[in-house]
């Protein structure tokens, strides 16, 4: 392995190979974190630009592929292939696992890698640790949606987090990093330890992030009714919130975990998704609403519709954003990280990774 390879050296290495085969680099989680830290506004802008590319048809985002295990029914590994055009110009694949039982053993639930493929040759040129990229693009998407879906109403000052793991922490970080502050932060989790850990994070970040008063609620209903902006970031496999009356105050809901809300809640609300075909499958709450009603009339539009002004979210109804999570966002952010590490001259290039490069030896 060659460490701290400069972009110029990497380019020279690639040019010396037959047929312009690119070099192959490995980017660690530490490097990813360094490239993204403190750049929340820039990342949200990148995610917005990628949504606009997707809406304009300049991306390819096939269905995600789920690997499930009969002996481990709560676990899964998902493959998200994608391609981003425009100025990004990269193809690739995110391979992400979700093993909820890891948490009890003190190991993070999700782990992931991201492979970036060269636009011209198809050769993979980088492998990045991607749990941080995945969390970052999810949080940036949520922060973008929170901003655009609240512009027709008074900006929320009371936020509630249902589920208090890594994704909740990242969403709070990205909201704070893009200018949000809250008078109160509500917390609910089925795990008291998780709720306590999240509260500890909130209090540590209060000076920089405007955490406000932190309250751990005793029930889901109490959390929802006391929040103008509600974040669902759980590992729920089926709906567990079923009473539309809890939402009578018409909050904006970031339904990041996709399966928390009973279809009846959605049918009483305005609904926005990131991609219709992706979101209405795999028994997500919107998919269940489609099955219940036999159609998609309950959908008001996509986030791209809101970004481009084709649809204006109502200010007098509950608004729910249900993002399936698009692989194109991972690719755009992964490419951003790769380029940042390359500019810093810190790419770890694997010498001779591609070896059989001459057809006849």
- Is residue 297 included in any domain, yes or no? yes
Q: Identify which has the larger pLDDT, 279 or 104.
A: 279
- Is residue 357 included in any domain, yes or no? no
Give the rounded percent of residues in the chain with a pLDDT score beyond 90.
84
Residue 211: is its pLDDT beyond 90? no
Q: Are strands 65-68 and 76-84 parallel, antiparallel or unpaired?
A: antiparallel
Structure tokens at 191: 């795990």
Same domain, 178 and 48: no
Place of tokens 């609904």: 271
Domain that holds residue 188: 139-322
- Is residue 152 included in any domain, yes or no? yes
Residue 19: is its pLDDT beyond 80? no
| Mean model confidence pLDDT for the chain | 92
- pLDDT at position 200: 93
Helix axes 40-55, 131-149, angle to 10 degrees: 80
- pLDDT at position 265: 98
Same domain, 251 and 300: yes
Same domain, 225 and 297: yes
Q: Identify which has the larger pLDDT, 5 or 307.
A: 307
Q: Identify which has the larger pLDDT, 207 or 154.
A: 154
- Is residue 361 included in any domain, yes or no? no
CB 277 within 8 A of CB 283: no
Give 361's contacts (C-beta < 8 A, 6+ positions apart): none
Same domain, 169 and 308: yes
Residue 18: is its pLDDT beyond 80? no
Same domain, 69 and 181: no
State the pTM of this model. 0.91
Neighbours of 96 (CB within 10 A): 22
Q: List pLDDT tens digits, range 35-67.
A: 999 999 999 999 999 999 999 999 999 999 999
- pLDDT at position 204: 86
Same domain, 59 and 185: no
- pLDDT at position 48: 98
Q: Are strands 319-322 and 252-255 parallel, antiparallel or unpaired?
A: parallel
At 163, is the secondary structure helix, strand, or coil? coil
Same domain, 223 and 128: no
Q: Identify which has the larger pLDDT, 16 or 77.
A: 77
Q: Tell me how many domains the chain contains.
A: 2
- Is residue 355 included in any domain, yes or no? no
Q: If you ran DSSP here, which 8-state letter would residue 102 be given? A: G
CB 99 within 8 A of CB 75: yes
Q: List pLDDT tens digits, range 294-351.
A: 999 999 999 999 999 999 999 999 999 999 999 999 999 999 999 999 999 999 999 8
Residue 12: is its pLDDT beyond 70? no
Structure tokens at 259: 């399966």
Q: Look up the CATH number of the domain holding residue 26.
A: 3.30.1780.10
Same domain, 220 and 288: yes
Same domain, 143 and 130: no
CB 80 within 8 A of CB 94: yes
CB 114 within 8 A of CB 127: yes
Q: How far apart are CA 249 and CA 236, in angstroms?
A: 24
Same domain, 71 and 191: no
Same domain, 78 and 178: no
Same domain, 308 and 294: yes
């Amino acid at each position: 392995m060659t460490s701290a390879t400069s972009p110029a050296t990497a380019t020279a290495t690639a040019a010396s190979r037959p047929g312009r085969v690119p070099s192959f680099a490995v980017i660690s989680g530490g490097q990813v974190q360094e490239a993204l830290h403190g750049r929340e506004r820039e990342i949200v802008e990148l995610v917005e630009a990628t949504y606009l590319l997707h809406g304009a048809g300049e991306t390819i985002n096939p269905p995600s592929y789920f690997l499930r295990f009969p002996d481990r029914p709560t676990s899964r590994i998902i493959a998200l292939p994608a391609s981003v055009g425009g100025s990004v110009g990269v193809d690739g694949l995110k391979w992400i696992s979700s093993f909820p039982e890891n948490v009890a053993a003190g190991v993070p639930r999700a782990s992931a890698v991201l492979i970036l493929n060269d636009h011209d040759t198809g050769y993979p040129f980088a492998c990045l640790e991607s749990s941080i990229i995945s969390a970052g693009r999810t949080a940036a998407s949520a922060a973008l949606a929170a901003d655009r879906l609240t512009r027709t109403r008074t900006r929320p000052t009371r936020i509630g987090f249902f589920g208090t793991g890594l994704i909740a922490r990242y969403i709070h970080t990205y909201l704070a990093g893009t200018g949000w502050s809250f008078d109160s932060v509500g917390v609910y989790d089925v795990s008291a330890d998780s709720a306590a850990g999240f509260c500890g994070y909130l209090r540590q970040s209060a000076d920089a992030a405007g955490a406000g008063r932190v309250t751990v609620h005793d029930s889901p209903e109490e959390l929802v009714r006391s929040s103008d902006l509600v974040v669902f970031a759980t590992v729920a496999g089926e709906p567990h919130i079923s009473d539309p009356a809890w939402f009578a105050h018409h909050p904006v809901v970031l339904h990041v975990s996709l399966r928390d809300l009973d279809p009846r809640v959605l049918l009483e609300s305005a609904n926005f998704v990131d991609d219709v075909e992706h979101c209405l499958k795999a028994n997500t709450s919107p998919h269940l609403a489609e099955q219940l009603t036999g159609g998609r009339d309950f959908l008001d539009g996509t986030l791209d519709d809101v970004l481009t002004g084709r649809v204006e979210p109502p200010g007098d109804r509950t608004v729910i954003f249900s993002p399936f999570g698009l692989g194109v966002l991972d690719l755009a952010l992964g490419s951003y990280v790769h380029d940042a590490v390359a500019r810093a001259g810190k790419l770890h290039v694997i010498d001779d990774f591609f070896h059989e490069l001459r057809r006849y030896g």
